[in-house]
Amino acid sequence: MGEVTIKVSVPDNAEKAFIKAVEETAKFFNERGRFFELMNELKGAIKTEKSWKELKMEIYEQNLP
């Protein structure tokens, strides 16, 4: 695994948020193989006629305050 150092300018008081976003993105790319394995295991687990898009919208609407 390689290591990359990036120097960027960010708005004041946004350093921690930027670092966290970059770390989470790197974590996703490091673990994406496992993510796609899990998604393939889940495929077909929910018996429904609805599309992923419809299910996603329902979940989003349920989580609105």
Query: CA 28 to CA 34: how far, in whole Å?
Result: 10
Q: In the prediction, which pLDDT does 65 show?
A: 63
**pTM over cut 0.85:** no
Q: Write down the pLDDT at residue 20.
A: 92
Per-residue pLDDT of the chain (65 residues; tens, 9 = 90+): 788 888 889 898 999 999 999 888 888 888 888 877 877 787 777 777 888 888 888 888 888 76
State the Cα–Cα distance between residues 40 and 37, nearest whole angstrom: 5
What residues contact 42, with CB distance under 8 A and at least 6 apart?
none
DSSP 50: S
Q: Angle at the Cα of 23 (from 19 to 26), degrees rounded to 5?
A: 140
